[in-house]
Structure 1
C-alpha cells in the first residue's frame, strides 16, 4: 500500500502569520533529501522530503530574478538589486 503525505504550504505560512495574499510558488526542486520551494515574493521554503514535517522558511529578497543553481551542495540565486545569494 502506498502512503501519501500532504501539506498545504500556503496555509502553513498563514498559520505562522506570514502575509500570503500574493504568494505563489515559482520553483520547486529536491536536493539533499529536502524540497526547496522558491516563491515570487522572496521566500525560500525547505521541507524534509521524507515526511513533510520539518518546514523552514526565510524571506531573503523582494523577488528572485534567476532560476536556482546548485553547485557543491550550495544553492545560488540572483535576487533584487542584482544580489547573488548563497544558501548552504
Structure 2
C-alpha cells in the first residue's frame, strides 16, 4: 500500500493528465454541436434561395432582351402610345 501511495505522489500529474484526456474525448464524442447543424441548414436554405434568384435573374434578362428588341419608335403613333403609357404609369 505504501508503494502505491509513493507512486501516486510521484506521478499524480501524469495520472490526472491521462484521466482528463480520456474524459475530454468521451465528452466530445457524445455531444453534437447544435450551432453546426443550424449553420448547415442555413447554408442549404441559402443555396436554394441562390438558385431561385439565378432563375429569376435569367428570366428578367430574357425579358429585358425582348423589351430591347421591340422598337417602340418605328412610327410616330407608336411613340405617342409609349409616351402616354409612361405618363399614365407615373400618375
TM-score, with structure 1 as normaliser: 0.20
Bigger helix share: 2
Q: Which has the larger radius of gyration?
A: 2
